[in-house]
Amino acid sequence: MIQPDVDLQPYNTMTIAARAKYFCTASSLDEVREALLFAREHKLPILPLGGGSNIVLTDDFPGLALHLGMRGLEFETLAAGAGSDKSTDSGVRIRAAAGENWHQLVMRSVELGYGGLENLALIPGNIGAAPIQNIGAYGVELKDSFEQLTALEIESGELVTFTAEQCQFGYRDSIFKGPAKDRFLICEVVLRLSSIWQPHVSYPALQQHFSEHGQSPDALTPAIVADAVIDIRNSKLPNPVEIPNTGSFFKNPVVDEQLYTSLKAAHPELVAFEAVDGWKLAAGWLIDQAGWRGFRKNGVGVHDRQALVLVNPGHRCGSEVVNLAREIASDVQHKFGVTLEPEPRFYP
């Protein structure tokens, strides 16, 4: 099943037409192991692929692009007292293979009446990639419902279990972006949702949505919150199927008190939130203020409703995207003294 010289355009939401020296989809653990054996024999680097919604292909990939397509989704209802550290209430444990679609998992849990994942509706991609950057939206992160994951160590071929603590989750961050980078293939993720539900609706966009729709904060359900998130996202984020993109292109920078104070004095309308280690600035606001929203050049550009999203309507190569990102980051640095770091991973 390992194919040589494959176009990766259908496998990345930026629709960049880079080629992989080899490509295969693994639908089982055995197939993953076979693919790893092939890569080892041919001394090939590996590009693990889920939905391709958080990668930028800057050139052809000189190794094996390994699409993790394992399927399997189980909901296990828990009796009261079945929780380990999460309380003694009943709830549900969700066991999902890496190739399951994230949004479908969220909607299934909402349909079954469980809360906890609704703020994460409509995030593209597969479950296997969700722990890599501890996906988050509207104040909720994967780590809030995470129990454990199983990953295959590339070097040894051994299956290893990681608890939440071992994953070292942070803000759009985990051990898989740090010390464990490129060492593991995530095969299965286990989540735990409690039957006791608290809506997380502090984000202004959600508040505004509920007030416009006359929905009282006391009458919210996971399904109502999921619908709101879907509506809001559809209204301001480009659907990658129509306009190629990778979501937020830059992380929201966290700056120290001194820089925050001087920026706030110069720009009273600065969008900033107090964080554990300083002030989190809305990168989209900085890019917008620098005049980039709606910009287009050489088939790539900046989304007109959210300046944090770079788009590739011309299906151009990765270097066009990277050049635009560099221009934007350098302009923001020059105008605000703030360094922007890309969120998606660049390959090779």
Catalytic residues: 172, 248, 343
Residues found near ligand NAP in the complex (CB under 6 A): 137-139, 202-205, 236-237, 247-248, 252, 271, 273, 282, 284, 306, 308, 343
Question: Which positions from 61 to 100 touch ligand FAD by CB under 6 A, shown as an x/- string?
Answer: -------x-----------------------------x--
Q: Which does 271 bind (CB under 5 to 8 A by kind): ligand NAP, ligand FAD, none?
A: ligand NAP
Alpha helices, DSSP H, located in 237-338: 257-266, 283-289, 318-336
In whole angstroms, give the CA distance from residue 334 to residue 297: 21
In whole angstroms, give the CA distance from residue 2 to residue 23: 6
Nearer to ligand NAP, 112 or 275 (CB): 275
- Count of Cβ atoms closer than 10 Å to residue 305 Cβ: 11
Nearer to ligand FAD, 119 or 194 (CB): 119
Cα-Cα-Cα-Cα dihedral of 330, 331, 335, 338, to 10°? -40
If binding is defined by CB under 6 A, does position 125 make contact with ligand FAD?
yes
Binding ligand FAD by CB under 6 A: which of 8, 13, 24, 260? 13
Residue 78 CB, shortest distance to ligand FAD, in Å, is 26
CA angle 140, 112, 202 (to 5 degrees): 25
Among residues 151, 152, 127, 19, the alpha carbon closest in space to that of 72 is found at 127
Residue 233 CB, shortest distance to ligand NAP, in Å, is 7
Among residues 320, 300, 319, 318, the alpha carbon closest in space to that of 310 is found at 300
In whole angstroms, give the CA distance from residue 120 to residue 98: 17
Binding ligand FAD by CB under 6 A: which of 25, 53, 119, 252? 53
If binding is defined by CB under 6 A, does position 121 make contact with ligand FAD?
no
Nearer to ligand FAD, 263 or 310 (CB): 310
